[in-house]
Amino acid sequence: MKNFTFSKRFLHIITLFTVLSFSTVLAQTPGLIYEPATGLGTVVLDPNGDGFTSLSPFGFTTDDQVQSEIPYVSLVFPMVEPNSDLGPGPNCGFTDFVDQGDQDPVQSYVSAANNWLFRMRMGNTSPNAKSYSILIDTDGLYGAFGPNRDPQYSSSNPGFEIEIVLATKFGVFVYDVNNMNCTPVISYPGTTNYQKSIALTTSCG
C-alpha cells in the first residue's frame, strides 16, 4: 500500500500529502519513501530527512500510524474501510482506499508551522496521473433540511465549502466549491507537496 501526505500551508495534502501503498512494492521496507516530495516539501513531509515516513530509519514493524514520524490522527469513519469495494473500478488498486483494521484510510495532522498534512492509504500504486480530493465543511451547515441546512445546498454539493485536490504529476490545488469556482484559489504545482511511501500492512495481499 502507498501513503500520500498533504499539508495546509504547503497543502501537501496534502495540504501536503503522503500516499501509503500496500501491494506492488512488497520487497521494499515498509515506511520507505519511494517517490519523495521536492523542494521545501521534503522538510515538511520527511522532517528528519532519512527517506522514511517511520520514526525509525529501519521502517515500520508493528503499526504504521503509531510508529509514524509525523503523528497523524485518523479522520472519523463509520467502520473499517473494506478493500475491493469500488464496483466498476479495479480491486486493490490505486483508487481503492484501505486501512490496517482500525479505521485509518485517511489521516491528518496540523504541524506547529501550520502545515496541514494528510495521509491516504491506497491498495496499490501506479506511476500514472490521478487525483484525490478532501472536501471540507467550514460552516457546520449541511444538507437541504433541518436546523443546520445549508442555504447553498445543491444536488451536486450538499454543503462543502473547500476542496483540496492532490493531482499527482500536476500538484496540489485548493478550490472554493461553495461558489462553484473552477479556478484554484491556492496552487502548489509540481511535486513539492506530496510524496509516496510504503505501508506496513498488506490487506490486499
- Decide if 166 contacts 16 (C-beta within 8 A): no
Going by the DSSP 8-state scheme, the letter that residue 123 receives in this structure is S
**What residue has cell string 484525490?**
132
CA gyration radius, the chain: 17
pTM as predicted: 0.83
Point out which residues pair with 17 in neighbouring strands: 194
Q: What would the mean pLDDT of 3-8 be, rounded to a whole number? A: 44
- pLDDT of 24 over the 70 cut: no
Cα–Cα distance for residue pair 195/12, rounded to 1 Å = 8
More confident position, 24 or 51: 51
pLDDT at residue 65 above 80? yes
pLDDT, greater one: 2 or 44: 44
Cis peptide bond N-terminal to 14, omega within 30: yes
DSSP-derived letter for residue 105 is: S
Coil vs helix vs strand at 88: coil
At 192 the pLDDT is 95
Rank 17-26, 125-134, 165-174, 193-202 by mean pLDDT and report only the highest: 165-174
User: In whole angstroms, what is the distance from residue 55 CA to residue 14 CA?
Assistant: 20
Displacement of CA 133 from its chain's centroid (Å): 8
Q: How far, CA to CA in Å, does 183 sit from each of 171, 175, 187?
A: 14, 7, 10
Q: What is the pLDDT of residues 98-130, one digit of tens each?
A: 776 667 788 999 998 889 999 988 877 788 899
Those residues with Cβ within 8 angstroms of residue 71's Cβ, 6 or more apart along the chain or in another chain:
109
**Looking at the DSSP assignment, which residues form a beta bridge with residue 19?**
3, 196
C-alpha cell at 81: 474501510
Partnered with residue 195 across adjacent β-strands are: 18
pLDDT (average), residues 56-68: 89
Residue-level pLDDT at 86:
74
> Which of the residue ranges 28-42, 88-102, 166-180 would you say has the lowest mean pLDDT?
88-102
